[in-house]
Amino acid sequence: MDRPPPRLPVFLNLAAIRFPIGAIASIAHRVAGVLLFIALPIVALLLDASLRSEAGFAAVRDLLSSPFRVVTAALLSWALVHHVLAGVRHLLMDVGVGSELARARTSARLVLVAAPALALLLLVWGLT
């Protein structure tokens, strides 16, 4: 493929670009995915500990024992809920449901708002 002559400047200052709502939902989907990837090995280790011994099981059950852990759990709850909701949105759009621009905008906004709300619910349920 032809390459442009070398050393021409390129404007790509992301802060100067006005991103539509779909792009924001999408980058959040990506960030959430990375967070969940980072959490995955930890979850595997927790699963192992919970099955290994009585004490391990108790430790996993009482996981949310410090403020730091609660904040981490809140973040991961958001990541999970957002990733699932945004994922469902994409699966539907794949088969043409809501892939028209106005509807896609609405569903993107919906996902962005619903995810933190549901995550909070999830966290409260986890704390009780």
Partner 1 sequence: MKLSIYRYDPETGDPPRMQAYDVQPEAGDKKLLDLLMRLRVQDDSLSFRRSCREGVCGSDAMNINGRNGLACLTALDGLKEPIVLRPLPGFPVIRDLIVDMTQFFAHYHSIQPWLINDQPLPERERLQSPTERERLDGLYECILCACCSAFCPSYWWNPDKFIGPSGLLQAYRFIADSRDTATAERLDFLDDVYRLYRCRTIMNCTEVCPKGLSPSHAIERIRLALLRRSS
Partner 2 sequence: MRLFDGQRAWVVQRISALLLLVLIVFGVLALPFASPLDFSGWRAFAGGVLGGPLIALLFGALCAHAWVGMRDIVLDYIQPRGLRLAVLSLIAVVLLGVLVRVLLSLATVGLAA
Chain residues that interact with partner 2, rule: CB under 8 A: 30, 33-34, 36-37, 40-41, 44-45, 47-48, 50-54, 57-58, 61, 84, 87-88, 91, 94
From the list partner 2, partner 1, none, pick the one residue 113 interacts with, judged by a Cβ distance below 5 to 8 Å according to partner type. Answer: none
Place of tokens 């930890």: 42
The Cβ of residue 5 has, within 10 Å, a number of other Cβ atoms equal to 5
Under the rule (CB under 8 A), what is the footprint of partner 1? 1-5, 8-12, 16-20, 22-23, 25-26, 90, 93-96, 99-101, 104
Q: Are 39 and 80 in contact (CB under 8 A)?
A: no
C-beta of 102: minimal distance to partner 1 in Å?
10
Q: How far apart are CA 73 and CA 39, in angstroms?
A: 10
Residues 6+ away with beta carbon under 8 Å from 82: 28, 29, 32, 111, 112, 115, 119
From the list partner 1, partner 2, none, pick the one residue 23 interacts with, judged by a Cβ distance below 5 to 8 Å according to partner type. Answer: partner 1
C-beta of 31: minimal distance to partner 1 in Å?
13
C-beta of 56: minimal distance to partner 2 in Å?
9
Q: How far is CA 56 from CA 12, 64, 128, in A?
A: 50, 14, 20
